[in-house]
Amino acid sequence: MKRNMGNADKGIRIIAAIAIALLYYFNVIEGTLAYVLMAVAVIFLLTSLINFCPLYKVFGINTCKIK
């Protein structure tokens, strides 16, 4: 897998995942919505850690400046 995520994308995804986790922790979101958003948060964290987004590959997007 080639990198296709830049640092800005990684930062935004990590911040979004932390925000979702905090909303869940403080019971702002509950039920099915909470489970769906937590799944999205986990996906955001995983893609940030491996620097690769499968949807970017499908749509031909590459925000990584390093070749």
Helix axes 31-50 and 7-25, enclosed angle (nearest 10): 150
Q: Reply yes or no on whether the pLDDT at 12 is more than 90.
A: yes
Residue-wise pLDDT tens digits, 32-67: 999 999 999 999 999 999 999 999 999 999 998 876
**Is 4:61 a contact under the CB 8 Å cutoff?**
yes
Please check the confidence at residue 1 and state whether its pLDDT lies above 90: no
In degrees rounded to 5, what are phi and psi of residue 66?
-85, 130
* pTM as predicted: 0.88
Domain limits, the chain: 7-59
Alpha-carbon span 64 to 25, nearest angstrom: 32
